[in-house]
Amino acid sequence: MTSQETAAHEPDALELGLPDPVRAPGLPEEVRIHEVGPRDGLQNESSLVPVEVKAEFIGRLAAVGLRTVEATSFVHPKWVPQLADAEELMPRLADLPERHPGLRLPVLVPNERGLDRALAHHATDIAVFASATETFARRNLNRSADEAMAMFRPVVTRATEAGVTVRGYLSMCFGDPWEGPVPVDQVVRYGVQLLEMGCTELSLGDTIGVATPGQVAALLAGFAKADVPVDRLAVHFHDTYGQALSNTLAALREGVTTVDASAGGLGGCPYAKSATGNLATEDLVWMLHGLGIRTGVDLRALVATSGWMAERLGRPSPSRTVQALLGTTRG
Ligand code: HMG
Ligand code: MG
């Protein structure tokens, strides 16, 4: 390279160092990231994303090292039109687990009709999604919270008999836009029901992003008191008030090692007033790698993928890490 070429070479943040790892006490060596961008992220987009773009997004997320990528939902197409193409998407993903050993591609399933559709498309991992509050159960599932539990029971039983792994989501674990603060006992009661019906993992959702770290520790203590092993719990934070990373660190300190996040910070929930994007996977990876915690994710490649997706969506990613790394690159 000539000196002129050197002078013309813009500093590229993606060529700069990633965080210098410094371990902190009381934290795990490794964290499993449950990537929800293609589902939780895209379910909330106002425009419909073409199925081939979704398939490429998921393929890229697998290629950067993510080993759990929630692909889509088999919900009623009128309730979530953004994911109405689940049947078209699944065959396009069929070769990914072979190309990326260990890759799981869970799909959301609310009822037996959804399970039939998921099984017909060879899903190996599904997730049911309950609510810790009455109002959200009615708005999201058209049922009371208890009726929703009754709807999930045969889904979990049949899926388990078919060798399919079932995750349970519980929404509104910290606050509900219609009901306000949600008591810990109420959350623990519904969470335990999901585990007892056969869900292997329980993801605790701060659907509207109102939690703060003390609440996270208190809820996890509530589950510990109910004898739920912490390795069966995951956390699912939305970043409405900028608390998602602090809440994640609080959860890691309590022993949680599975964290949900969304590439580029895409997301929200079409049936939850004020739900904004999820914790951005890049922001999470930056913090985890900075703490010397392994994720298996290539951060630079992930940022490039979210930059690519942001172009497809026609707006910049809300992830601070994506902005910092790509913003510098573009000068
Ligand atoms: P419903 O209207 O009560 O359904 O909706 P139904 O059981 O009365 O059935 C009515 C018709 O819908 C029937 O057809 C069914 O076959 C059909 P008909 O006989 O009238 O011709 N139907 C379906 N069709 C296709 N696929 C299905 C299906 N189910 C019924 N699966 C239902 C109840 C649960 C289906 C509806 O409320 C629904 O689809 N809700 C999904 C809402 C959703 O996806 N929300 C976003 C995901 S949750 C979330 O984002 C939170 C999370 O990220 C964690 C967090 O942040 O907290 C997970
Ligand atoms: Mg969510």
141 lines ligand 1 (CB under 6 A): yes
Give distance in angstroms: CA of 27 to centre of ligand 1: 38
| Candidate of 34, 76, 206 to mutate for ligand 1, largest count of ligand atoms within 8 Å of Cβ | 76
Return the higher-pLDDT residue of 110 and 45.
110
113 lines ligand 1 (CB under 6 A): yes
Model confidence over 4-30: pLDDT tens digits? 444 444 445 455 558 889 999 999 999
- What pLDDT does 327 receive? 77
Ligand nearest the Cα of residue 266 is 2
For residue 260 the two structure tokens come to 């949900």
Q: pLDDT tier at 46 (50, 70, 90 boundaries)? A: confident
Model confidence over 141-190: pLDDT tens digits? 999 999 999 999 999 999 999 999 999 999 999 999 999 999 999 999 99
- What pLDDT does 240 receive? 93
Question: For the chain, what percent of residues have pLDDT higher than 70?
Answer: 91
- What pLDDT does 186 receive? 98
Give distance in angstroms: CA of 286 to centre of ligand 2: 21
Asked whether the predicted pLDDT for residue 3 surpasses 50, the reply is no
- What pLDDT does 4 receive? 42
Q: What's the mean pLDDT in 121-138? A: 98
pTM, full prediction: 0.94
- What pLDDT does 76 receive? 98
Q: What's the mean pLDDT in 224-252? A: 97
- What pLDDT does 268 receive? 63
- What pLDDT does 276 receive? 74
Which residue, judged by its Cα, is nearest atom 10 of ligand 1? 76
For the chain, domain boundaries = 28-329
Asked whether the predicted pLDDT for residue 37 surpasses 90, the reply is yes
Give distance in angstroms: CA of 54 to centre of ligand 2: 18
Catalytic positions, written as ranges: 269
Q: What's the mean pLDDT in 265-288? A: 84
Return the higher-pLDDT residue of 21 and 105.
105
Model confidence over 48-87: pLDDT tens digits? 899 999 999 999 999 999 999 999 999 999 999 999 999 9
Q: Which of 227-236, 254-263, 316-325 has the lowest mean pLDDT?
A: 316-325
Q: Does domain 28-329 fall into CATH 3.20.20.70?
A: yes
Give distance in angstroms: CA of 113 to centre of ligand 1: 9
271 lines ligand 1 (CB under 6 A): yes
